[in-house]
């Protein structure tokens, strides 16, 4: 097919249909550094490179779709978090955002710890050499087998989420003859301004023990008397993809308030608090995320001040960023398969992946950006919807975005900021094969998670 313009789709200046978009950008070739990883560049020849490698070479060598991860950017973000909090705090990378053995090694080298929330994540972290004492174990319904595995492995602490779990864990620790360090997860009653499915500190949801309902205090009472447990502190995670620091600040204040109550009731000063993850990232140029240093400064100061007022020794702080570290470091590289203009609406651009490699748009109405990366174009902006190849109309990757009107099958397009919660939430819907994760750094590329094959699918199907 020739690179002809598609006459039926809306263009610059047309009356546009309803949607989430703003005006088209002045130059579609520009790549906003807010949403693209640090080493992404458009070359003079027009194509895009990352870590010094042309995306066309990556597509040829590794195929599409593929997640392309910028190792240098990942490491820089780890360092930024560590430096922001300094030596008086611990940074646990939330493995649910994306976990692989290479990533665990990078985290280890950069001095971060890992938070896991399943036996599977724990296995990946341990198998890549993360010392068990630098791993925290989470979850609202950890199985008995997972708890036994975590205790036996010697994980640093387990974040307990219910009365049932307190008893279960106490029994398991006694069976194994150890005293397991724990934190208690509390619900601080903050309405985080984010999608309902990823807000976690309001009352009506499944996580934690409520502060206002007195359950947090009761869990502390029980934890202090149960054998096999050493209560180290309190944990709070208010939600995810949050831009406003106010919610974190209220949470910090309420957690310190609980520490003060615990001291008054039990004469015990708990030495740790974990304020969770949740810092938002830029998916489009309209998003304005906070920097780690900003959040570190305000949290550290609030904890210090509140502790001074309550006559408490300030506890050691830990945080659990996932998305803010890995999210911006990767993009998904797709090949365009079909370009279908719909009169008066928009142009549907179908790519070789879809909701199986990025479920976030369908699940949370997430917004993404997209760019043509195999070449530059001076064609008019064309209102587009990037869709996948799955058998449902909700299979949308980018709901509304502008792509050049000369877009054609065979072009490579990339969706930035897909490092978090895309590969980790990927599925085999329609027996799609999960894409590989390719790490690039300093002109070198390597697969860190290989593409699935049909043999992988058949290996599980033993019927
Ligand atoms: N700590 C705890 C206890 C968590 O539950 C989470 C995320 C994090 C830390 C890391 O949060 P982050 O810094 O990555 O926002 N699948 C959703 C996000 C679910 C988040 C679950 N918990 C999404 O794609 O937006």
Structure confidence at residue 23 (pLDDT): 80
88 confidence band (pLDDT: 50, 70, 90): confident
How do residues 121-141 score in pLDDT, each as one tens digit? 999 999 999 999 999 999 999
17 has pLDDT over 70: no
Q: Residues 292, 154: one domain?
A: yes
Q: How far is residue 405's CA from residue 410's CA, in Å, rounded to a whole number?
A: 14
Q: Residues 309, 355: one domain?
A: no
Q: What is the mean pLDDT of residues 266-275?
A: 98
Ligand 1 site residues, Cβ closer than 6 angstroms: 94, 96-97, 115, 138, 198, 237, 240-241, 276-279, 320-324, 360, 364, 420-421, 425
Looking at 297, 321, 345, which one is the last position of a domain?
A: 321
55 has pLDDT over 50: yes
Looking at 131-135, 241-245, 455-459, which range is the least confident one?
241-245
Query: Percentage of the chain surpassing pLDDT 70?
Result: 93
Structure confidence at residue 90 (pLDDT): 97
Residue-range definition of the domain harbouring residue 269: 138-321
Q: Residues 335, 381: one domain?
A: yes
Ligand 1 centroid vs 279 CA: distance in angstroms? 9
- The answer to whether 391 is a known catalytic residue is yes
Structure confidence at residue 2 (pLDDT): 36
204 confidence band (pLDDT: 50, 70, 90): confident
Which is the catalytic residue, given 78, 117, 307, 391?
391
Ligand 1 centroid vs 80 CA: distance in angstroms? 19
Q: Residues 332, 293: one domain?
A: no
8 has pLDDT over 50: no
Q: What is the CATH number of the domain that holds 274?
A: 3.20.20.10
Q: Which of 184, 281, 320, 326 to mutate to test the pocket of ligand 1 (most atoms within 8 A of CB)?
A: 320
- 149 inside domain: yes
Q: Residues 168, 292: one domain?
A: yes
Q: What is the mean pLDDT of residues 151-163?
A: 98
Ligand 1 centroid vs 241 CA: distance in angstroms? 8
Q: What is the CATH number of the domain that holds 377?
A: 2.40.37.10
- 258 inside domain: yes
Query: Percentage of the chain surpassing pLDDT 90?
Result: 88
Ligand 1 centroid vs 322 CA: distance in angstroms? 7
- Total domains, the chain: 2
Atom of ligand 1 nearest to the CA of 320: 9
Q: Residues 155, 300: one domain?
A: yes
Q: Residues 232, 279: one domain?
A: yes
- 108 inside domain: no
199 confidence band (pLDDT: 50, 70, 90): low
């Amino acid at each position: 097919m020739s690179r002809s313009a598609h006459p039926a789709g809306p263009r610059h200046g047309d009356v546009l249909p309803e949607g989430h978009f703003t005006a088209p950008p002045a130059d579609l070739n520009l790549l906003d550094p807010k949403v693209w990883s640090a080493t992404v560049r458009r070359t003079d020849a027009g194509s895009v490179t990352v870590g010094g490698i042309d995306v066309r070479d990556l597509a040829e060598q590794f195929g599409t779709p593929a997640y392309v991860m910028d190792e240098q950017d990942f490491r820089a973000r780890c360092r930024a978090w560590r430096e922001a909090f300094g030596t008086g705090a611990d940074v646990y990378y939330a493995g649910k955002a994306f976990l692989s053995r290479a990533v665990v090694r990078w985290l280890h080298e950069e001095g971060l710890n890992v938070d896991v929330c399943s036996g599977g994540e724990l296995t990946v972290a341990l198998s890549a050499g993360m010392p068990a004492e630098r791993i925290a174990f989470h979850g609202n319904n950890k199985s008995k087998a997972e708890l036994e595995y975590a205790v036996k492995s010697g994980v640093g602490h387990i974040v307990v989420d219910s009365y049932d779990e307190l008893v279960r864990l106490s029994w398991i620790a006694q069976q194994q003859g150890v005293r397991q360090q724990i934190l208690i997860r509390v619900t601080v009653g903050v309405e985080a301004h984010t999608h309902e499915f990823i807000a976690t500190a309001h009352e009506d949801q499944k996580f934690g023990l409520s502060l206002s309902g007195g359950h947090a205090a009761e869990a502390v009472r029980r934890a202090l008397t149960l054998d096999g447990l050493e209560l180290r502190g309190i944990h709070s995670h208010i939600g995810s993809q949050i831009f406003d620091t106010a919610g974190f600040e209220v949470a910090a204040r309420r957690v310190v308030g609980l520490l003060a109550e615990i001291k008054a009731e039990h004469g015990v000063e708990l030495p740790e608090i974990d304020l969770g993850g949740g810092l938002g990232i830029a998916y489009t140029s309209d998003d304005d995320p906070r920097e780690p240093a900003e959040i570190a400064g305000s949290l550290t100061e609030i904890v210090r001040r509140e502790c001074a007022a309550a006559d408490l020794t300030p506890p050691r702080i830990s945080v659990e960023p996932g998305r803010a570290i890995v999210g911006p470091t990767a993009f998904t590289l797709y090949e365009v398969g079909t370009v279908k203009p719909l009169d008066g609406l928009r142009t549907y651009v179908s790519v070789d992946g879809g909701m199986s490699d990025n479920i976030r748009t369908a699940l949370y109405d997430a917004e993404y950006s997209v760019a043509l990366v195999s070449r530059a174009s001076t064609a008019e902006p064309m209102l587009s919807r990037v869709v996948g190849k799955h058998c449902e109309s909700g299979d949308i990757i980018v709901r509304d975005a502008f792509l050049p009107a000369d877009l054609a099958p065979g072009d490579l397009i990339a969706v930035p900021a897909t490092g978090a919660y895309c590969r980790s939430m990927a599925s085999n819907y329609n027996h799609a094969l999960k894409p590989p994760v390719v790490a690039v750094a300093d002109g070198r590329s390597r697969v860190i998670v290989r593409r699935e094959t049909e043999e992988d699918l058949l290996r599980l199907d033993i019927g």
